[in-house]
């Protein structure tokens, strides 16, 4: 069987095919679960270095969310924090013989669908079903089709943007390593790491902005109208 990136089939269970992208995703999930368990199994009032770093990461994520959604920070914190932590998968392209699962469109598409569903879920939880559906016809019912088209297109753009960036980054890393090997300049590898982290951050912040638009209550919409 010819392998093509992450689309090669690792094994099958009836009609279900598990590809390399799925295996890489499972690997990242297992690493995140294991790391979370190790960090949180012995929390102390006087934290050590590892606990201090972990608490700093959580606090930084919480502050970033609070800057966008001050009244709903606790509601979306677990989801957005998980998206940002999963962004560590972008770094797997630097490991020899491995690829970033986000370099596969099926993975980024699944992440985009999760964001799409989460917008409605958090919106309904925050404003109620009626209040949430009302924003589709605000300020005019004639805007309903445009709201729907906008949500679908931004979901597609979210998936394609991350996939395109990560695929191009992985291809560039492979070409550099194949041509120069260990002589690849360190600044170029550092640039790859920075770009991978930036792409993870952008995906998470876009998800946060989309969710923030979905959880606006009618009172907040009214205040926004008055402000403009």
Which structure tokens are listed for 20?
């390399």
CB under 8 A, 24+ apart: contacts of 75-81 = 75/122, 75/125, 75/126, 75/215, 76/118, 76/122, 76/208, 76/211, 76/215, 79/118, 79/122, 79/207, 79/211, 80/204, 80/207, 80/208, 80/211
| The pairing of beta strand 16-19 with beta strand 9-13 | antiparallel
The β-bridge partners of 9 are: 19
Whole-number Å distance between alpha carbons of 65 and 18? 35
Contact criterion met (CB below 8 Å) for 100 and 163? no
Burial class (CB in 10 A: 0-12, 13-18, 19+), 207: buried
Contact criterion met (CB below 8 Å) for 89 and 102? yes
One pLDDT digit (tens) per residue for the chain, 228 residues? 334 456 677 777 777 778 888 888 888 899 999 988 988 888 888 888 888 888 998 999 999 999 988 888 888 999 999 999 898 888 887 776 777 889 889 899 999 999 999 999 998 888 788 878 887 887 788 888 998 999 999 999 999 999 988 888 777 777 776 776 666 666 777 777 888 889 999 999 999 999 988 886 545 555 555 555
pLDDT of residue 4: 47
- DSSP one-letter code for 137: G
CA neighbor of 57 nearest in space, from 88, 31, 30: 88
pLDDT of residue 125: 85
pLDDT of residue 61: 93
Contact criterion met (CB below 8 Å) for 64 and 52? no
Helix (H, G, I), strand (E, B) or coil at 1: coil
pLDDT of residue 184: 61
pTM beyond 0.85: the answer is: no
């Amino acid at each position: 069987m010819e392998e093509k990136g992450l689309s090669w089939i690792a094994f099958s269970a009836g009609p279900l095919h598990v590809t390399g992208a799925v295996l890489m995703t499972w690997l990242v999930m297992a690493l995140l679960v294991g790391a979370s368990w190790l960090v949180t199994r012995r929390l102390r009032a006087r934290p050590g270095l590892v606990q201090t770093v972990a608490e700093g990461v959580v606090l930084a994520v919480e502050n970033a969310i609070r800057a966008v959604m001050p009244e709903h920070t606790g509601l979306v914190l677990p989801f957005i924090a998980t998206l940002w932590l999963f962004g560590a998968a972008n770094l797997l392209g630097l490991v020899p013989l491995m690829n970033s699962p986000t370099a596969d469109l099926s993975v980024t598409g699944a992440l985009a669908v999760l964001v799409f569903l989460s917008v409605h879920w958090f919106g309904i939880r925050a404003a109620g079903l009626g209040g949430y559906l009302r924003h589709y016809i605000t300020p005019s019912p004639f805007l309903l089709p445009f709201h729907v088209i906008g949500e679908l297109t931004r979901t597609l753009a979210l998936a394609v943007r991350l996939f395109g960036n990560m695929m191009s980054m992985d291809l560039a890393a492979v070409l550099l390593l194949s041509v120069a090997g260990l002589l690849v300049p360190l600044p170029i590898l550092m640039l790859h790491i920075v770009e991978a982290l930036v792409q993870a951050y952008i995906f998470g912040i876009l998800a946060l902005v989309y969710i923030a638009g979905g959880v606006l209550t009618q009172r907040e919409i009214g205040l926004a109208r008055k402000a403009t």
